[in-house]
């Protein structure tokens, strides 16, 4: 049964322009329709806010204000916003229509994707988010439903309706907008939203593409929120054996519970993704995931929701403590959620445990066959007792890794530390011997633990010349960022006024530092229009400005030939010493030929002269009071005179 036929909007024309043809999807905040712009005759998507939200005036105002901002975000991987408006109780956005499917549709149909396919989708998503982050916006609701895959293969990010300006906090009514399965810990606890919440959500999406499953489940939304706060996202290889450990590290970096050790925005995460792709071989990128990993969870009902932010949520455990396992349940829908309190009751046993138990079967069968055949059975038995493999401990905390090694019958060797931009502080970067290598029982394995990204303080650069300031930043491990210039009477021209971030602020090595450079004391541009060109040059150059003469001269009724008719910048504006002022020189008024009117009647003479563009003055004297014939004209016929000038005719 086609439910769109029951939708009251289908068939209507909104705002006298948008004809609603069919309902496409229903979300937690709005319904999306396929529509036709009758004015431009094009198909588009119309997103109409739910009436309950449309009744909230402040929400509508913010929704429209932010939609206008996002409409200025032009990027090939962002669904464009064409228009916004209201029609009675309907509040809507008119957006680009993408014919195709969502990433959610792909995951529901295919389950886990090959790493290459996951990267092919994630990279354009991060490019779109990176453009938004650098423009000052945060998406805040990244999830597979908002990743559109067109019939032509293009990937686009949709639903920027929840975007907020960078560094703003959602404190209104103590709630946070978003989808439970993809919320970053800081969104849940404080409502803070900066680009790193999108990075976290993209890490969850990557995990889901690699495994076909979400990392956190629960019998209630509260349990899922609790797990976001208290549990690390597990390595994808724990669910899909054989995945490269570099993929584990990438997911761990993006989904770090501590926002400070995540990539600082989507551009930084994209760089990590590209680096990971470059080090993986074709076999690792094209590894076919087991069909059993296909998601059994119907995420179609993961809706964007207004979620009360519980202040009683317990703080996450320190990353160097081993956290007790929490069995996974199921989450079927996100909606308006209750308070997230203390640790929820344990969920039913994990549905993944049968798979883990089944892996012991093949080894038992193999041992039995070898023993029955008597081929090398004794050697196999002895070697199996003397050697083992270094277990997978990458991305684990030090305590977890040590426990895992001891469980495998191995000793813990030396503990080293190293900086890492991709591996969370306090977790394992590498082992010696490497994970998977054969090692004798009771031998030791050395661990290298991440110190997190190397951070350095922003140096004090005020008063430094720009070139020296750039050199100091590079020497300290930072990058010179955007340079803006301001007038300053205190700081010499070309020297640094201030930096952003401020001096002393700790920043990740390689981060950019913006510089504000002095333009010196401002110079007021004098008014030189009407002056001879040589005099105008002298005045401006004495003020410390450069002069450029425009190649084209202009006609002017106001200024004589050779005088300055226009200047740029205009008089009274402020300029920097050494700036250039462009002068345009007058070639005088337009010269036109004067008609010969001697002998004509006064009426005919006046008509001819005025028609040519002149004004007329009559000189009758005593003898011409009653005359009507022009005896003389002030400029002879055939000569030229400035257009608009006065021609005197003498009448007798």
Task: Give residue 505's Cα distance to chain centre.
Answer: 24
Terminal alpha carbon distance of the chain:
100
Spatial distance between the Cα atoms of 129 and 160, rounded to a whole number of angstroms: 10
Please give the backbone phi and psi of residue 81, each rounded to the nearest 5 degrees, phi first. -100, 120
Which helix (DSSP H) or strand (DSSP E) does residue 70 occupy?
helix 57-71
Tell me whether residue 141 is one of the annotated catalytic residues: yes
C-alpha pair distances (Å), 220 with each of 4, 225, 232, 296, 323? 31, 9, 19, 17, 21
Q: Is 345 exposed, middle or buried (0-12, 13-18, 19+ CB in 10 A)?
A: exposed
> What residues contact 399, with CB distance under 8 A and at least 6 apart?
320, 321, 322
Spatial distance between the Cα atoms of 458 and 472, rounded to a whole number of angstroms: 10
Spatial distance between the Cα atoms of 561 and 557, rounded to a whole number of angstroms: 10
Residue of 276, 93, 262 lying closest to 185 (CA atoms)? 262
Buried b or exposed e, range 384-393, using 16+ CB within 10 angstroms: eeeebebbbb
Strand partners, 280: none
Residue 507 per-residue DSSP state: E
Residue tagged active-site, from 15, 141, 151, 416: 141
> What residues contact 82, with CB distance under 8 A and at least 6 apart?
37, 44, 71, 94, 95, 96
Spatial distance between the Cα atoms of 73 and 209, rounded to a whole number of angstroms: 27
Residue of 75, 53, 49, 189 lying closest to 139 (CA atoms)? 75
> What residues contact 547, with CB distance under 8 A and at least 6 apart?
536, 537, 540, 541, 580, 581, 583
Residue 397 per-residue DSSP state: B
> What residues contact 233, with CB distance under 8 A and at least 6 apart?
203, 204, 207, 215, 216, 251, 252, 255
Please give the backbone phi and psi of residue 388, each rounded to the nearest 5 degrees, phi first. -145, 175
Please give the positions annotated as active site. Answer: 141
């Amino acid at each position: 049964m086609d439910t769109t036929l029951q939708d009251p909007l289908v068939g209507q024309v909104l705002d006298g322009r948008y004809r609603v043809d069919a309902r496409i999807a229903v979300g937690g905040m709005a319904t999306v329709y396929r529509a036709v712009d009758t004015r431009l005759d094009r198909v588009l998507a119309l997103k109409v806010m739910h009436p309950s939200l449309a009744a909230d005036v402040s929400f509508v105002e913010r929704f429209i204000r932010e939609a206008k901002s996002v409409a200025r975000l032009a990027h090939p991987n962002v669904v464009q916003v064409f228009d916004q408006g209201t029609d009675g109780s309907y509040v809507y956005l008119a957006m680009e229509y993408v014919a195709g499917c969502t990433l959610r549709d792909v995951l529901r149909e295919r389950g886990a994707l090959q790493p290459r396919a996951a990267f092919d989708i994630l990279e354009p998503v991060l490019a779109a988010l990176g453009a938004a982050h650098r423009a000052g916006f945060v998406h805040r609701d990244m999830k597979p439903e908002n990743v559109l895959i067109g019939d032509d293969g293009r990937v686009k990010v949709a639903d920027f309706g929840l975007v907020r300006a960078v560094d703003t906090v959602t404190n209104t009514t103590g709630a946070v907008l978003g989808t439970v399965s993809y919320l970053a810990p800081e969104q849940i606890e404080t409502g803070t939203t900066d680009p790193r919440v999108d990075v976290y959500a993209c890490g969850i999406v990557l995990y889901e593409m690699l495994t076909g499953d979400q990392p956190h489940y629960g019998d209630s939304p509260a349990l899922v929120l609790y797990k976001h706060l208290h549990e690390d996202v597990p390595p994808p290889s724990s669910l899909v054996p054989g995945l490269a450990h570099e993929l584990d590290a990438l997911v761990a970096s993006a989904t770090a519970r501590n926002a400070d050790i995540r990539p600082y925005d989507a551009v930084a995460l994209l760089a990590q993704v590209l680096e990971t792709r470059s080090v993986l071989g074709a076999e690792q990128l094209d590894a076919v995931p087991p069909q059993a990993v296909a998601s059994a969870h119907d995420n179609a009902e993961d809706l964007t929701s207004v979620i009360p932010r519980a202040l009683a949520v317990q703080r996450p455990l320190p990353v160097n403590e081993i956290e007790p396992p929490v069995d996974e349940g199921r989450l079927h829908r996100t909606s308006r959620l209750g308070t997230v309190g203390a640790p929820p009751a344990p969920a039913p046993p994990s549905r993944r445990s049968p798979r883990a138990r089944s892996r012991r079967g093949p080894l038992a069968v193999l041992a039995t066959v070898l023993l029955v055949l008597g081929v090398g059975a004794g050697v196999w038995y002895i070697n199996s007792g003397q050697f083992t493999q270094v277990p997978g401990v990458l991305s684990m905390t030090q305590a977890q890794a040590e426990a895992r090694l001891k469980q495998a019958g191995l000793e813990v060797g030396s503990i080293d530390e190293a900086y890492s931009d991709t591996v969370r502080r306090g977790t394992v970067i590498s082992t010696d011997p490497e994970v998977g290598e054969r090692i004798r029982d009771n031998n030791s394995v050395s661990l290298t633990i991440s110190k997190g990204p190397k951070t350095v303080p922003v140096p004090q650069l005020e008063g430094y010349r720009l070139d020296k300031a750039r050199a100091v930043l590079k020497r300290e491990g930072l990058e010179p960022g955007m340079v803006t210039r301001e007038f300053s009477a205190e700081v010499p021209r070309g020297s640094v006024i201030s930096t952003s971030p401020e001096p002393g602020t700790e920043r990740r090595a390689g981060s950019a530092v913006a510089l504000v450079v002095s333009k010196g004391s401002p110079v007021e541009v004098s008014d030189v229009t009407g002056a001879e060109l040589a005099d105008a040059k002298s005045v401006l150059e004495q003020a410390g400005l450069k002069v450029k003469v425009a190649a084209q001269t202009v006609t002017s009724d106001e200024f004589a030939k050779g005088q300055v008719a226009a200047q740029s910048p205009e008089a009274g504006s402020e300029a920097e010493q050494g700036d250039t002022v462009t002068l345009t020189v007058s070639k005088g008024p337009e010269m036109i030929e004067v008609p010969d009117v001697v002998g004509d009647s006064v009426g005919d003479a006046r008509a001819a002269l005025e028609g040519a563009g002149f004004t007329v003055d009559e000189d009758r004297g005593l003898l011409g009071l009653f005359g009507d014939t022009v005896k003389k004209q002030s400029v002879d016929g055939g000569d030229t005179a400035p257009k608009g000038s006065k021609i005197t005719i003498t009448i007798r």
